[in-house]
A = this chain, B = another copy of it.
Amino acid sequence: MRVLGIDPGTVVTGWGIVEFRDRKFYHIANGCIRTQAKTPLPERLGNIFKSLSKIILEHQPTTASVEEVFVSRNVQSALKLGHARGVAIAAISQGRLPVHEYTALQVKKSVVGYGRAEKAQVQEMVKILLSLPKTASEDASDALAVAMCHINSTPRLNIIKGAKR
Interface residues of A (CB under 8 A from B): 41-43, 45-46, 49-50, 66, 69-72, 74-76, 78-87, 89-94, 99, 101
Tell me whether chain A's interface is mostly helix, strand or loop, or mixed. helix
**In the complex the two chains form, what is the Cα distance from A99 to B47 in whole Å?**
13
Total identical chains? 2
A140 to chain B, nearest CB (A): 21
**In the complex the two chains form, what is the Cα distance from A81 to B86 in whole Å?**
9
A8 to chain B, nearest CB (A): 9
**In the complex the two chains form, what is the Cα distance from A43 to B70 in whole Å?**
18
**In the complex the two chains form, what is the Cα distance from A27 to B15 in whole Å?**
42
Residues on B with beta carbons closer than 8 Å to the beta carbon of A66: 42
Query: Residue A75 contacts which of B72, B90, B91, B92 (CB distance < 8 angstroms)?
Result: B72
Q: Which residue in chain B gives the minimum CB-CB distance to A71? A: B75
Residues on B with beta carbons closer than 8 Å to the beta carbon of A69: 79
